[in-house]
Chain A
Amino acid sequence: RKEVEQDPGPFNVPEGATVAFNCTYSNSASQSFFWYRQDCRKEPKLLMSVYSSGNEDGRFTAQLNRASQYISLLIRDSKLSDSATYLCVVPRGSARQLTFGSGTQLTVLP
């Protein structure tokens, strides 16, 4: 299994749709996980951190399944501005040494 694996997409969804991305990881010792968002030709920015079973922030919900070693990101009521690449990030050893997934590209259509 790759260190961090994501479905690359692209996901093209209409405004208002609910969309979910999955990410699997290989290091069972990882304790914290992150979703970063990267807009086209911009830098990655932290979207959410996941330290226990999950985290919710407005329309965004991240869930962690340690037994199956996957993390998911759910976006409800998607907006045009949600169009971006979503990067699943897993620390390798410490949170300073991050392994980034290849990203899932989302386009929200009007």
Chain B
Amino acid sequence: AQTVTQSQPEMSVQEAETVTLSCTYDTSESDYYLFWYKQPPSRQMILVIRQEAYKQQNATENRFSVNFQKAAKSFSLKISDSQLGDAAMYFCAYRSVQTSGSRLTFGEGTQLTVNP
């Protein structure tokens, strides 16, 4: 079974600065997806970014980028030019590509605080 670990329960960053959230996972599969979800106080689960394991290039979405290290099974999220609206709980998640593997496995979450 796959597992996802986020070792930072809480992080803080000054507005306009950069912060990196860590995520490691364990799997025996070679083809899978990795995701970062944002959960603001509204509770909505918002997809921030996704990475396909067969792609070596790191995914980027505006101020959000990932550092995907497949051999090390590491998937960190970098938020540049942090904004107050980035304050939220962030979850790392894994999904198999196999037809029967539609399940999302989540990490424990990292609560990000953005200080003005």
Q: Do A and B bind each other?
A: no
> Which B residues fall within an 8 A CB radius of A?
none
> Which A residues fall within an 8 A CB radius of B?
none
